Amino acid sequence: MKFRYAMVCSSNQNRSMESHALLKKEGFDVSSYGTGQHVKLPGPALREPNVYDFGTPYKFMFDQLLRKDPQLYRRNGVLPMLKRNLGVKSAPQRWQENAADGSFDVVLTFEEKVFDMVIEDLHNRNHVFMKPVLVINLEVKDNHEEAAVGARLALLLCQELEATEAWEESIDDIITNFEREHRRKLSYSISYY
Amino acid sequence: MAAPPPREQALALLAAANNHGDLAVKLSSLKQAKDILLAAEPFQAAELFPFLVDLQSSPESLVRKTLIDVIEEIGLKALEHFSILMPVLLTLLKDENATVVKQSILSGTSIFCSVLEELSLQFHRRGIVEMWLEELWTWMVKFKDAVIDILFEAAPLGIKLLTVKFLEIHILLFTSDRNDSERSTVEAISRGGRGFNISWLAVDHPVLDTATLTLDANRSLGILLDLLQSASNLPGLLTISIVNSLAAIARRRPAHYSPILSALLEFDSSFEMAKGGHIASIQYSIRTAFLGFLRCTHPAILESRDMLLKSLRGMNAGDAADQVLRQVEKMMRSNERASRDARLSKDEQLSDHLPASLDHGRKRSLPSDNGDPSYNKDIGVKRVRYGSNDPAAPSVEKNDPGQDDMNGVSKIPLLDSNLTPVEQMIAMIGALIAEGERGVESLEILISNIHPDLLADIVITNMRHLPKNPPLTRPLASDRQGEPSGPSQSIVSTGSTISMEIPDLTAQVPVSSSSLIGSSPSDMSASNNLPFDSKRDPRRDPRRLDPRRMVASVGMPPAPSTEDNSNATQSGAIQHHVDSPSSFIKPLSPPVILSSESITVPLMPKSEAGLTTLASLPTSYVDSLDAKVEVKEEESREIVLNEEEKGALEVPSFTTVEGEQDSVAQTSSDFTMVDEVYSPPSLEADEHSPAIPDMEAAEEASAELPVLPSYIDLTEEQQRIVGALAIERIFDSYENLQGPGGKQIRMALLARLVARVDANNDAILAMQKHVTLDYHHQKGHELVMHVLFHLYSLMISGSEESSPLAAVAYENFLMGVAKSLLENLPATDKSFSRLLGEVPLLTDSVMKLLDDLCCEKYLGKDTSDGDRVTQGLGAVWSLILGRPLNRQACLDIALKCAVHPEDDIRAKAIRLVARKLYVLDYISENIEQFATRMFLSAVDERVSDVDLSQSGVTEQRIEREVGSQETSISGSQVSEPGVSEMDSMKGANMDTQNDSAATLAHAQQHVSLFFALCPKKPSLVRIIFDNYARSPKAIKQAVHRQIPVLIGAFGSSYSELLQMISDPPQGSENLLTQVIHVLSEGTSPPDLVATVKHLYETKLKDATILIPILSSFSKNEVLPIFPQLVNLPLDKFQTALAHILQGSAHTGPALTPAEVMVAIHDIIPERDHLPLKKITDACSVCFEQRTVFTQQVMARALNQMVDQTPVPLLFMRTVIQTTDAFPALVDFVMELLSKLVSRQVWRMPKLWVGFLKCVAQTQPHSFRVLLQLPSPQLESTLNKYPQLRGPLANYASQPSVRNSLSRSTLVLLSPVNESHLQQSHLTPSSHAPDPSSSLHGAMPS
């Protein structure tokens, strides 16, 4: 595994964590982040989400929601998801505060908005190392089923990138082929560390 | 001096790095050597440099790469001696290994920056540049050229990426970062070595010539732009990185913005040509670049905002663009909040030392601000930054909007204080102003970042406290003529005065127009936020002084103002209304003032009267106002002034004051709006005399002055009226406005006004109407969106008291616009759909409207117009696609329409649901469930009044069953028999006409949707089959009507159907037959034939199903099943017969008509288990088709049969029928009879009867045959048919015949038997007609 990967969605709960878990299992050097202001989980109603700060341990959320309404959160899959997450890492991390985590070679985002934010954030950082970072957006809907599908696609994509000599040469082909093969729209951009 | 040991050590290590066999050892040796070199004195280390240089030819790329690393590290420390190592760097730039090259570029770049920095610093400190540095610089130039060359060589993309990045850095370094839009200081601080910028350079620098370097940077930019133009030949990755770099350059160095923007725009439009890479990503990079520009608030970039928005909309990124705009606004608010906190903490100390507030203000001002005016002028101006996109702030704020979380949980605005953003903003600005001169600079930066929306908010909020008396400014401005303030400051103040003054000032102060432009708006709002400041601590506000001061300086007659003060309670607002514009206009058109003043007088005593006059007032001054607007439009940025005016006009409409400030507001109500506008001048004046004492003096003075203009509360009624007038006026000017900039502000203002005024107000109604009339051209849509978004934001972010109001206003406005769109625009117009698609929130009432529209319940002008339904459904569709939150509701509407009793609506809705919606995977399941439920409920007779609105996932309740059962029972009874195969059709006929029609329509209504879905999902067909058997007749009927369409829709992909056919559920035979029939229309596909045959052979012994495919059967296939076909009901047999005779195009008919005839006769009732009657019927059917079963056919068939053994049972019957049907065949028949005679027909009892009958009927032709019979048979014949005897005897008596007859025959015919003949002649009828008792059915028909 020659690259460092980052999986980014908005809350670092579902999509990014699903991929994180999968890639980690496959032996990738992977981290995951959210770009949102807060971590939000579905609540009893659409307008009443559970809001946490980044850095709040998954375990804490799990315990709290378990107390609140175990039935509801089990049914909507939040509890199982949190359980999965706490097996991967301890707490959701925020992309914008990850400077200390070092540079990544490939960043995978799962939503256009998140993609924009990651790019804008990278733009605002100082490109001291002039180290290119490939940012790819793979649109994945924010639900459990799609996240699982998205994670598998992410894995495939990362495996293809790993297989290249230098991704710079083949990225156009990889993206185009991937799109064709999986009928997904991708877009990528490049920034620097 | 203790060099030797380390030196030896280093030498040994370097040697090892060069020669050792193990790569790991080489690398670690090299690193150790580096440590030693770093620890050594530079000149000592330099001695070892040649050994380092040797390593460049190391065969291991890893060693070479590490070498560069080492060189960089050492080089940065011993820059003086670096020239020795430079060749290595240059050589390795051309290395064959990509990693080595990349490392060379990286290290070279970092050294490049260090050298530049050193160059400028050295000269700065010592006034000279040393030789070595000069030499190093020439190396650097070589390096730069070498790197740029790489771009044009064939190199790996990874390297080219870095060269592009290098070019970007190069351009950034050598473009002045004055007026930098982003973080020049941040760069300087955090970038370490890369803090250099060309603006550091002294003009007379001996080595670095600014002009040359700038030229160089421009050349580099040219290279990038050229590359972009030739992007079609470049790999996508490179194109993207070029676009990104250009965007970064444009954002950081606005000087390059316009060429880059035009290049990007051009690239965007010619972009389809590019074929090098992943197009979507390239386009996305442009989009990102444009969005990035939008984030920037530098004036140069702001100017192109409209263009950017347009292009972004062109690439479907309008939403993202709007979002960015909101983010920028939000970002500003967060800044405010931060400073407000600081301000709050500071407030307590404020009474002692105003400058205490400096600290937070300085956060935003630059470190160089030390209060020295000249320094300020020099560096401060240089460092003024417009788009302070504080890198921290955006990261905090920008991602808030729509952080839709899991499953569409929408964001919730998290406001942690009662203050609205606007108030926070005002507080912050107030704080900055309180700092006096030192705050101005920060203020400028802040305000130049304020989005028009927010600015409008600020202005309006500020207008809360209007003074009554109009202070005049002209004199003040002239007061200031002599002020020795710095250029930017004086311009700043000009911005807030009337545009007329600007020429003077610009003449006075030589400042470029750009800085004028930049600074004027900022100061505008600087003035705006003063009131807030005053609210917090009213006694402290310097502007308290202003009214009096102005009055004094203008020499305005005090009478009006005192009068105002004494009388004006209610009418004050009107007065503002009138006065403030008049004061503006004064310098332009004095007469107006007169008129307005004269009006104010009558207003005083009675507010009611005043209000009415007011309505007529506007004409006069609006005109002058317009004139003024035009004047101002000439100055591009003066628009902000207009905004002020607008603000002035609408002040009275303000009603709510957020909680905590209320009491303060009351006391601080003594500021005129105009006062606020013109307060900066006074502030400016204050700046030069110490501000604090001044204000304190003012405080004291104020205590003694009783006649301060007081604040006027308007009644709600007045607020409404005045607000409406304001809307009218602004809207008028909005419509007539051509320039791009003003619209934004007008929109913002209108939005806020609408929020204040009751939505049913006439003015708003008129506006809605107007907006819709030119919805497209005049950007009515944009305005509506603006208003709605504003209302929405109030709704969700407002305090508890205002949000319900806003919600009502929102709802009313949205409904109003939606309705008027419907009323005023043709049904084909897409605006309605667009409106619903883009508004921030769809309320229930709008959904209801949509629902009504779709169901034709909407009482528009043209209710009967089906196009409206189409329009409604179109809107529903786009909402389902575009608004996940409303998806379910819209889907409900669509589904409801899909089972609508009205055929037309239903057909449209079904088309939508089946074609457009069902393919969407996120709702297909819902649709399917609904359709299935409808179908099943119809089957179960639950349809009568099924709860249609409940289309959710929840299961349909069965309660209603009971009620509807009644109606259905009669129907099902009729169809009960079930023996008749076509029961459903017949049943319908039996039913009373009305009833059946009703139920059929009813059934259609509920099953149509389901049928429409079937082609999309063939597996649904099974549900139809499964439920067919138990369906009531009406449903069956409906099903049969639908099936042909359905099958047609299946087209060629009917494998599911085949599967279905191969295993049909019990009771579905009729349906099955129909399906097969439809399927095999035209030609029967082989697999279908096979399937049906198989079914027939295995499960379903009903030959009916075979009928449709008979035409493709061969003769051998038809013959075995022929008896079964004959056994079918007559009508079905007829069809089958037609199919058989028709045959397929390829094989021809399976049987010729003659063969059919034969086949029918070959059936033996006992053997084939069918009644003889069936066979005779079949024959009759054939005879009926005379065109098919012609006499030739019959002749052939009979000819064939007569030779068969045994002769078919019905042969004689057919012969008789044939002779009846075709008299011309009589001779042929005689031959047949002769043959039969020779075959001793009398031995075949059943035929014999027929034979005789035939003979009897065909006399006299049959005489010859009769005479061939042996005597006993002839005798029995004559006994049976005595009437034959005479004629036959006559015939036999002919000489020619007689000779050939036998004796016995002659005897028989002799007259001896005459009596017998006579006798029987009397009663022929009793014998003749009744052979049927012995001969089954042989009676000719």
B1074-1099 mean pLDDT: 71
What residues are paired with A34 via a beta bridge?
A9, A94
Per-residue pLDDT, B246:
92
Q: What is the pLDDT of residue B435?
A: 66
Quick one: pLDDT at residue B543? 43
Phi–psi pair at B486, nearest 5 degrees? -65, 155
Please say whether the dihedral angle defined by the alpha carbons of residues A46, A50, A53 and A59, taken in this order, is positive or negative: negative
Q: What does the alpha-carbon distance between residue B355 and residue B668 come to, in Å, rounded to a whole number?
A: 22
Report, as an integer, the average pLDDT of B337-358.
53
Segment (H or E) for B7: helix B4-19
Please give the structure tokens belonging to residue B1236. 């039969």
Q: Is B932 exposed, middle or buried (0-12, 13-18, 19+ CB in 10 A)?
A: middle
Return the top range by mean pLDDT from B513-517, B755-759, B875-879: B875-879
pLDDT score at B1122: 80
- If we measure between CA atoms, which residue out of B547, B590, B549 comes closest to residue B565? B547
**What is the pLDDT averaged over residues B426-453?**
71
Q: So what's the pLDDT on residue B864?
A: 53
Q: A42 and B407 in contact by Cβ < 8 A?
A: yes
Contact assessment for residue B565 and residue B710, using Cβ atoms and an 8 Å cutoff: yes
User: What is the average per-residue pLDDT within A167-185?
Assistant: 89
Task: Determine whether the interchain pair B409/A96 forms a contact, defined as Cβ–Cβ distance below 8 Å.
Answer: no
Q: pLDDT at position B591, please?
A: 38
Confidence of residue B344 (pLDDT cuts 50, 70, 90): low
Q: Which residues in A lie closer than 8 A to residue B241 (C-beta atoms)?
A: 132, 190
B874 versus A74: which is more confidently predicted? Answer: A74
Q: What is the pLDDT of residues B1239-1283, one digit of tens each?
A: 777 877 777 888 888 877 877 777 777 777 777 777 787 777 777
Confidence of residue B345 (pLDDT cuts 50, 70, 90): low
Among B100-104, B671-675, B872-876, the range of highest mean pLDDT = B100-104
State whether B398 and A120 contact (CB < 8 Å).
Answer: yes
Percentage of chain B lying above the pLDDT 90 cut: 1
Comparing CA positions, the residue from B844, B918, B839 lying closest to residue B877 is B918
Q: Whole-angstrom Cα distance, residue A18 to residue A15?
A: 5
Q: Residues of A numbered 15-34 whose beta carbons fall under 8 angstroms of chain B's beta carbons: which are they?
A: none
Average pLDDT score over residue span B896-923? 77
pLDDT of residue B963: 38
Predicted pLDDT at B194:
52
- Return d(Cα B693, Cα B701) in angstroms, integer: 12
For tokens 């934010």, name the residue: A117
Residue from B922, B821, B841, B836 nearest B873 by CA = B836
The mean predicted confidence, pLDDT, of chain A is: 91
The two most distant CA atoms of chain A are separated, in Å, by 52
- Asked if the model's pLDDT at residue B458 lies above 80, the reply is no
B148, B167 Cβ separation under 8 angstroms: yes
pLDDT at A134: 94
Q: What are B442's two structure tokens?
A: 């920060």
Residue B618 pLDDT exceeds 80? no
For residue B1292, which of B1270, B1260, B1314, B1321 has the smallest C-alpha distance? Answer: B1260
Q: Can you tell me the distance from the alpha carbon of B880 to that of B922, in angstroms, rounded to the nearest whole number?
A: 10
How far does the CA of residue B406 sit from the closest CA of chain A (Å)?
5
The answer to which of B46-50, B649-653, B920-924 has the lowest mean pLDDT is B649-653
Residue with tokens 């263009």: B307
Residue found under tokens 């028999």: B977
pLDDT band at A91 (very low <50, low <70, confident <90, very high): very high
**Is residue A70 a contact partner of residue A78, using CB atoms and an 8 Å limit?**
no
- Top-confidence residue, B1176 or B195: B1176
A105 shares contact with chain B (CB less than 8 Å) = no
How far is the C-alpha of B1180 from the C-alpha of B1339, rounded, in Å?
12
- Give me the residue label for tokens 């909402």: B879
Backbone angles phi, psi at B58, to 5 degrees: -60, 140
A192 bridge partner residues? A132
Distance from CA of A121 to the nearest CA of B (A): 7
Query: At A85, which amino acid appears?
Result: N
* Closest residue on chain B to A120 (Cα): B292
Point out the least confidently predicted range of B189-203, B651-665, B1051-1065, B1070-1084: B651-665
CA distance B753 to A138: 43
Eight-state DSSP code of residue B696: H
**Cβ within 8 Å, pair A172-B194:** no
Q: Which two tokens stand for residue B387?
A: 């788009």
Interface membership of A93 toward B (CB under 8 Å): no
Does the CB of A96 have a partner CB in chain B at under 8 Å? Answer: yes
Q: Which residues, 6+ apart, have CB-to-CB distance to B192 below 8 Å?
A: A128
Q: Give me the residues paired with residue A39 across strands.
A: A52
Tokens (6 digits) for B860: 């528009």
* Better-predicted residue by pLDDT, B840 or B475: B840
Q: A127 CB near a chain B CB, below 8 Å?
A: yes
Would you call the peptide bond into B1260 cis, given omega within 30 degrees of 0 as the criterion? yes
pLDDT class of B134 with cuts at 50, 70, 90: confident
Mutation target vs B (from A58, A65, A172; most B CBs, 10 A cutoff): A172
pTM of the model: 0.42
* Amino acid at position B803, single letter: S
CA gap B1010, B929 in Å, rounded: 10
- Whole-angstrom distance, CA of residue B1331 vs CA of residue B1333: 5
Higher pLDDT, B701 or B441: B441
Q: Tell me the percentage of chain B whose pLDDT exceeds 70.
A: 58
pLDDT reported for residue B852: 77
Does residue B122 carry a pLDDT above 60? Answer: yes
- Give the pLDDT mean for B1222-1232: 81
CA distance B323 to chain A (A): 10
Listed residue (B807, B905, B814) closest to B851, CA to CA: B905
Task: Please tell me the distance from the alpha carbon of residue B787 to that of residue B228, in angstroms, as a whole number.
Answer: 40
**Could you give the angle at which helices B1191-1202 and B1226-1238 cross, rounded to 10 degrees?**
0
Q: Residue A56: what pLDDT?
A: 93
Closest residue, chain A, to B287 (C-alpha)? A116
Peptide bond into B1206 cis (omega under 30): yes
Which residue did the predictor score with more confidence, B1035 or B386?
Answer: B1035
How many H helices and E strands in chain A? 7, 7
Name every residue whose Cβ is closer than 8 Å to that of residue B155 and which is 6 or more positions away in sequence: B98, B101
Output the pLDDT for position B158: 87
* B109/A130 touch (CB, cutoff 8 Å), yes or no: yes
| CB-count exposure of residue B479 (10 Å: 0-12, 13-18, 19+) | middle
Chain B residues whose beta carbon lies within 8 Å of the beta carbon of residue A192: 165
- The pLDDT-based confidence of A54 (bands split at 50, 70, 90) is very high
pLDDT, position B469: 53
Do the Cβ atoms of A189 and B406 come within 8 Å? no
Residue B956 has what DSSP assignment? P
Q: What is the pLDDT of residue A155?
A: 94
State yes or no: pLDDT of B1202 exceeds 70. yes
Within a 10 A sphere around the Cβ of B739, how many other Cβ atoms?
12
User: Are the CB atoms for B433 and B528 separated by under 8 Å?
Assistant: no
When mean pLDDT is compared across A150-154, B213-217, B455-459, the lowest value belongs to B455-459
Cβ–Cβ contacts within 10 Å for residue B349, how many? Answer: 12
Pairing mode of beta strands A39-41, A50-52: antiparallel
3-class SS of residue B738: coil
**Is A120 within 8 Å of B241 when comparing Cβ atoms?**
no
> Number of CB pairs < 8 Å for A and B?
153
A38 has a pLDDT exceeding 80: yes
**B90 pLDDT more than 70:** yes
Query: How many Å apart are CA B815 and CA B803, to the nearest integer?
Result: 18
Cross-chain residue pair B165–A176, CB shorter than 8 Å: no
Render pLDDT for B553-583 as a digit per residue (tens, 0 to 9).
Answer: 333 444 333 344 434 334 333 344 434 433 3
Chain B CB contacts of A148 under 8 Å are none
Between CA B1285 and CA B1321 the distance in angstroms is 9
**Cα–Cα distance for residue pair B964/B974, rounded to 1 Å:** 17
ipTM: 0.93
- Give me B484's structure tokens: 């020795």
Q: Residue B1214's closest CA among B1224, B1231, B1199?
A: B1199
- Model confidence at B1061: pLDDT above 70: yes
* Phi-psi region at B941: left, alpha or beta (left = phi > 0; alpha = psi -120 to 50): left
Chain B closest-CA separation from residue A17 CA (Å): 13
Across chain B, mean pLDDT equals 66
Tell me whether residues B403 and A123 touch, CB distance under 8 A: no
Confidence at B391, pLDDT banded by 50, 70, 90 = very low
Report CB contact under 8 Å: A130, B162. yes
Residue type, B617: L
Report the 3 state secondary structure along B880-898.
HHHCHHHHHHHHHHHHHHH
